[in-house]
Structure 1
């Protein structure tokens, strides 16, 4: 079984981690720099939105293409921009209140900054959870610890350092054939497709024999039990699912599936809509 797509995602995660390390360290330096603090803050924001976030988003997209559920990470990334915008607004109001000697304005600004801190905490909480889950998937404790530490303000850079360092170990195991899957694993291999008539084709890897009970298209009312074959054998399994009455699919768009198994678990898969 090839893990080339996983390796591509891990490399992108490593690159993103490096930039988050730089951004976090610059932010700490900025706390102690008086004259250069504004310049450092601007550099931080530019690096965050032009390099770090796009690279991490791309990493999550690659992991999603292999069926890993990284939806929390996407949500976390989407929360960073509004969190920072709210933080800047609150900071501006607080400063304006101080210069105008308006206590009420300064208090309002402080409250808004506090709300922004909550938004940003939730953002990095969701990102950290998905990185922890990746560590769990690849059986790598350092990656799991990195995901936990990313959540914690002021020391999150340590989490990014651990994430950066752990990736090489995971890649070496995947390339060297020493990666040992968990006792039970079912996940998507490669990219699936779904046609405009609701017929989906994808490949699932299973470490055990298990039945596929049903499947649904996320954020839609469409579900199906018309799955051929409905039994996964050990190894790769080519699956066809037929969702009846599907309308509104857009060619080129990705759609996420939730696949329910007979052992009570479910997995995520991603399919791209094809017009043919």
Structure 2
């Protein structure tokens, strides 16, 4: 799978995961509404007909409906969290600084599992402390997930995703719900960095081949430019390391062998791929392009 397709898959997983969580909350809310209104009205109606059997049947039917909705809501919510976890993992593997979101989903999932165990054990009263622990983990996981979404919004310069991330961080159910809605809408507007600036028409700058990063602090990338352009800056995504020097800074038409010196790169993982994002000036238009390079110690 190409870099562009992988990045798009990560974004799509975050978006679909957000949609699943939105649906999950809606189903749970419907269950609560049924519990408050439907069951009460059914019970009153049955009592009005002086039918004890009818009252019991009404309550039993309502409870079954609520249980089904809650169970369905939990399953859809679990799918949503797993998709979001997958999305963060894919983007992290591409060098995007969103690992905190993946950590949040892991903590959140652990909290859900503990909550299920605590719910069963609460019957014999020893599950209450477990439920408290589960709620704490879910709270922390949710905050980290929100931070992850905020970073996605920063990386792809999408304001709705950033605002959604902020609302997800706040531990209030309604704000979380609105946050995922905003994130879902914003993610639909996001384009992968690897393809966002490679348009079908007009000037193009893109990578040729595979770049390398050496343990002596140098990195080598080949850039093709369809027009004269200049490199404004560069950085290694995920670790936010910027080069001390870039040569050449002016790109000519055709292939350009770009050499960058970063200095100390001991924080990089051997034989791992990294994204180097270039900020380039093309005739007064500032664009960002992403390239890949393997760290070869």
Q: TM-score range by the shorter chain?
A: 0.5 to 0.7
Residue of structure 1 in register with 2:65 after alignment: 36
Deviation at 1:59, TM superposition (A): 1.8
Tell me the equivalent position of 1:21: 22
Ranges in structure 1 where 5+ consecutive residues have no aligned partner: 98-104, 178-187, 219-227, 258-268
Check the 8 A contact 1:129/1:148 in 2, yes or no: yes
**Which residue of the partner structure matches residue 58 of structure 1?**
86
Counterpart selection for 1:85 from 90, 104, 113:
113
Q: How does 1:169-184 map to 2 (within 5 A)?
A: 169-171=189-191, 174=196
Counterparts in 2 of 1:63 and 1:202: CA distance versus 1, 3 Å: farther
Residues 112-133 of structure 1 show CA distances to partners (whole Å, capped at 9, x for unaligned) of: 2122111001111111101111
How far 1:201 moved relative to its partner?
7.1
Any idea what SS the aligned residue of 1:208 has? strand
SS of equivalent to 1:35: helix
Please show how residues 175-194 of structure 1 align to structure 2 within 5 Å. Answer: none
Provide the rounded CA distance (Å) in 2 between the counterparts of 1:35 and 1:204.
63
Decide whether the 8 Å contact of 1:66 with 1:190 is kept in 2: no
Deviation digits for residues 33-74 of structure 1, max 9, x if unmatched?
44333323332333234x323322232233224321111111
Separation (CA, whole Å) in 1 of partners of 2:216 and 2:264? 5
The alpha carbon displacement at 1:76 in A equals 0.9
Structure 1 44/110 Cα, relative in aligned 2: closer, same or farther at 3 Å?
Answer: same
Q: 1:110 aligns with which of 125, 128, 133?
A: 128
Per the alignment, do residues 6 and 244 of structure 1 end up closer, same or farther by CA in structure 2, a change over 3 Å counting? Answer: closer
Q: TM-score, normalised by structure 2?
A: 0.56
Aligned counterpart, 1:167:
187
User: Displacement, 1:143?
Assistant: 1.1
The separation in 2 between residues aligned to 1:67 and 1:116, in whole angstroms, is: 31
- Are 2:108 and 1:71 equivalent residues in the alignment? no
Q: Tell me which moved more, 117-126 or 144-153.
A: 144-153
| Residue ranges of structure 2 left out of the alignment (5+ in a row) | 36-62, 200-206, 224-229, 276-290
- Please state if 1:130 is matched with 2:148: yes
Structure number with greater Rg is: 2
TM-score, normalization: structure 1?
0.60
Q: Distance in 2 between matches of 1:84 and 1:144?
A: 26
1:158 and 2:159 are equivalent in the alignment: no
User: Distance between the aligned counterparts of 2:210 and 2:19, measured in 1?
Assistant: 28
The 8 Å contact of residues 212 and 221 in structure 2, kept in 1 or not, is answered as no
- Residues 199, 27 of structure 1: alpha-carbon distance in 2 compared, 3 angstrom cutoff: farther
SS at match of 2:173: coil
Q: CA deviation at 1:111?
A: 2.6
Q: CA deviation at 1:161?
A: 0.8
